[in-house]
């Protein structure tokens, strides 16, 4: 929604009052929408998270009103085992899935950008295509491939004597990981390719003249050049992982192993729309946003520090 517009907000203004006024004119529509669709809801969520519903009357069925609750909603959210378990689950998911997907995307990007690559445009589009499929649709598609009784994959596996269950408690997280990997590898790959394209050709030429083979060019020239893009895609992946929602939500009715708090986002959703407790849900959403911020900036700091050693 607002997020696409949110990319690269500044850098429009240049010195000079005339330009500044023109810049303001261009930025204003964005700022207005940004405030309306982004800042206002965030503020409202924080406000909601600090309140609770008080009830009076016989059996509490009389009147209700919202009163200030301090941090009670946050305390309750943090005392909720299921909510915390959800965080643990997406952490495990991220530790396994993000490196795997990044490695896969890097390999694909290097292959497509290597001198020996053929049909580059076709493969690039083909790998990128799943990103164009909305997460819900992708989950429904994969859901059909996971459900025993309908899935041809399960039938084939059983025919060769492998009794596989993609939706059991132990395996369903990796079934979700598979959907996410299928969807986002191509996207990550494309970001990496864009970075490779921006590497000046002379660098490769120089490496070749120095006697580097294709493998050495990839290892010692391309990979280091990819670093900023890898950092960027990893941050995207960390945030996306913390916000996992559509896949478990869609698979949930198909599998008896996904509970209502499978991921933190799903927990907040259930709290708001099943439990009808928007206050707690808002607190959980704010906590989730804080964790996403901490994880992203923590990661940036981590790689930033190491980058200085090299530079």
Site for another protein in 242-281 (CB under 8 A): 242-243, 245-246, 249-250, 253-261, 264-265, 268-270, 272-278, 280-281
CB of 247 to another protein, least distance (A): 8
Which residues between 209 and 238 bind another protein (CB under 8 A)?
236-237
Rounded to the nearest angstrom, the gap between the alpha carbon of residue 97 and the centroid of all alpha carbons in its chain is 11
Candidates 263, 229, 259; CA nearest to 244 is 263
- Report if residue 184 touches another protein, rule: CB under 8 A: yes
* Axis crossing angle, helix 223-242 with helix 81-113, rounded to the nearest 10: 150
- Of 47-55, 155-163, 219-227, 299-307, the segment contacting another protein by CB under 8 A is 47-55
Residue placing its CB nearer to another protein in the complex, 40 or 95: 40
Instruction: Provide, rounded to whole angstroms, the least separation between the CB of residue 65 and another protein.
Output: 10
Q: Which is nearer to another protein, 167 or 218 (CB)?
A: 167
Residue 53: strand pairing partners? 66
Q: Which is nearer to another protein, 1 or 17 (CB)?
A: 1
Q: Report the nearest approach of another protein to the CB of residue 232 (Å).
A: 11
Cβ nearer to another protein, comparing 106 with 270: 270
Binders of another protein among residues 99 to 138 (CB under 8 A) are: 134-136
Considering only residues 11, 18, 59, 201, which one is a binding residue for another protein as defined by CB under 8 A? Answer: 59
Helical packing angle, 172-197 and 120-128, nearest 10°: 140
Dihedral sign (CA 23, 24, 29, 32): positive
DSSP element (H, E) containing 262: none
Closest C-alpha to 3, from 40, 33, 43, 28: 33
Cβ-Cβ contacts under 8 Å for 160 (sequence gap 6 or more): none
């Amino acid at each position: 929604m607002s997020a696409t517009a949110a990319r690269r907000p500044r850098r429009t203004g240049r010195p000079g009052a005339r330009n500044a006024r023109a810049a303001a004119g261009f930025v204003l529509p964005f700022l207005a929408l940004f405030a309306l669709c982004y800042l206002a809801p965030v503020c409202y969520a924080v406000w909601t998270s600090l309140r609770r519903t008080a009830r009076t009357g016989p059996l509490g069925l009389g009147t209700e009103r919202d009163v200030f609750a301090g941090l009670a909603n946050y305390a309750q959210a943090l005392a909720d085992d299921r909510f915390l378990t959800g965080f643990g689950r997406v952490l495990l998911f991220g530790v396994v899935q993000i490196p795997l997907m990044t490695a896969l995307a890097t390999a694909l990007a290097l292959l497509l950008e290597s001198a020996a690559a053929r049909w580059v445009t076709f493969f690039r589009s083909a790998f990128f295509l799943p990103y164009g499929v909305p997460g819900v649709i992708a989950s429904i598609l994969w859901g059909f491939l996971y459900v025993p009784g309908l899935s041809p994959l399960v039938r084939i596996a059983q025919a060769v004597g492998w009794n596989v269950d993609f939706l059991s408690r132990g395996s369903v997280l990796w079934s979700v990981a598979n959907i996410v990997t299928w969807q986002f590898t191509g996207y990550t790959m494309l970001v990496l390719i864009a970075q490779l394209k921006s590497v000046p050709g002379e660098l490769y030429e120089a490496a070749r003249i120095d006697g580097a083979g294709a493998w050495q060019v990839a290892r010692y020239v391309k990979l280091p050049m990819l670093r900023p893009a890898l950092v960027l895609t990893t941050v995207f992946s960390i945030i996306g992982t913390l916000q996992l929602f559509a896949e478990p939500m869609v698979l949930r009715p198909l599998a008896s192993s996904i509970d209502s708090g499978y991921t933190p986002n799903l927990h907040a959703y259930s709290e708001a729309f099943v439990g009808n407790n928007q206050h707690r849900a808002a607190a959980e959403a704010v906590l989730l946003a804080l964790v996403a911020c901490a994880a992203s900036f923590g990661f940036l700091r981590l790689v930033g520090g190491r980058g200085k050693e090299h530079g």
